[in-house]
Structure 1
Amino acid sequence: MEKLRESLHEAPIIDKDGYSYLVHPLSNGVPMLEPELLREVVVGVTRAADLDVDKIVAPEAMGIHIATALSLQTDIPLVVIRKRSYGLDDEVPLHKTTGYSESEMFINDIEAGDDLLIVDDLLSTGGTMAAICEALDDIGADISDIVVVFRKQGESALDDTDYDVTSLLDISVDQDGVTIHD
């Protein structure tokens, strides 16, 4: 994870109303995402994840490029949980609450009994991931594994659940930069 670690130390930190916000190619799409970094992350996810699954699931938006590259590498189909409804048969809405917003997302192409790997760029408050896991459980799917690239230190909506999340790196962010917690 050498390139990933380097990228964190090079990433800008901006102030958003008193909140130290990490601007990173994997979680924001800027600065430019170099293929070497994406490749290293996909190799890391491949090594960390249970790949004996039927489908890879990624929430829109910034987990999509990671999950797409993983799908291409593993030949496991990809399902994106979308931020808008398409009105398809069997579409399942979910409500998510994060530390900074509330919104709806929509699940398609997941059926009872599907074994799933959820992949995302960042776990911060855990609100999005908790809502996704609850909705997938309600469908009757089996969540085999959850892997994120970055997990911010601190409380998470997943803390009091049975869901385990594997991260490639645990981090904290403040105005002075990013700290990696090994």
Structure 2
Amino acid sequence: MASADRISAIKSSLRVIPNFPKPGIMFQDITTLLLDPKVFKDTVDLFVERYKNENISVVAGIEARGFLFGPSIALAIGAKFVPLRKPKKLPGEVISEKYILEYGSDCLEMHLGAVKSGDRALIVDDLIATGGTVCAAMNLLERAGAEVVECACVIEVPKLKGRERLKSCGVPLYALVES
């Protein structure tokens, strides 16, 4: 199936939930995509096709929905998977990065030593909105010595300007669909 057909199927499998998790937020829900094995596989395959020859050594998935795509991509391209988690979810020593969301603030943590100097990293999440979460992920990886090659998301919300925020950091964004 052509990439355009797969992307069209991905876009049509998504749903929007108004006023979740707070009033005024139009939540982009990917759980409906996961209910269709073909569309779910096509989503992972499109990322794998893009990154399989890019010498990526680390796929970093952002909690929680980055965990749905990241491990499959990592396995398919022969990279390790590193979970980037909310505070106090990882045992052992961690490094952390605080960031601002469109509706509050949060923090990401990563195991100390999970990423080595010289690693080529791909950041994976379901969605990019303002770019705060992805920038925090990028900062964590770069502090550990990794080179962030690209950030990959299923959905981009262009009106929230996350792509522009990443551009200012010098990291490209690849998103399958816009919402």
- Superposed CA offset, 1:112-131 (max 9, x none): 22111111110001001111
Which residue of the other structure, out of 103, 106, 109, is the alignment partner of 1:103? 106
Aligned position for 1:179: none
Aligned position for 1:14: 18
**Higher share in helix:** 2
Q: Aligned runs of 1:135-146 on 2, under 5 Å?
A: 135-146=140-151
Q: Secondary structure, in 3 states, of the residue corresponding to 1:160?
A: helix
Gap runs ≥5 in structure 2: 1-6
Aligned position for 2:66: 63
**CA spacing shift, 1:84–1:137, aligned 2, 3 Å:** same
* Matching of residue 2 in structure 1 with residue 8 in structure 2: yes
Q: Is the 8 A contact 2:86 2:109 kept in 1?
A: yes
Q: Is the 8 A contact 1:23 1:30 kept in 2?
A: no
Which residue of the other structure, out of 144, 161, 170, is the alignment partner of 1:162? 170
* Alignment TM-score, normalising by the size of structure 2: 0.81
Gap runs ≥5 in structure 1: 172-182
**How much has 1:77 moved relative to structure 2?**
1.5
Q: Is the 8 A contact 2:118 2:145 kept in 1?
A: yes
Aligned position for 2:4: none
Q: Aligned runs of 1:31-180 on 2, under 5 Å?
A: 33-49=35-51, 51-85=54-88, 86-89=90-93, 91-108=94-111, 109-154=114-159, 155-156=161-162, 157-171=165-179
Distance in 1 between the 2:34 and 2:55 partners?
Answer: 32
* Alignment TM-score, normalising by the size of structure 1: 0.80
Distance in 2 between the 1:138 and 1:130 partners?
Answer: 12
Q: Please, which moves more after superposition, 115-124 or 71-80?
A: 71-80
Report 1 or 2 for greater relative contact order, CA contacts < 8 Å, sequence distance ≥ 6. Answer: 1
Distance in 1 between the 2:54 and 2:95 partners?
Answer: 25
RMSD over aligned CA atoms reads 2.1
* Residue identity in the other structure for 2:77: T
Q: Is the 8 A contact 2:123 2:137 kept in 1?
A: no
* Residue identity in the other structure for 2:103: Y
Distance in 1 between the 2:157 and 2:33 partners?
Answer: 20
Q: Secondary structure, in 3 states, of the residue corresponding to 2:126?
A: strand
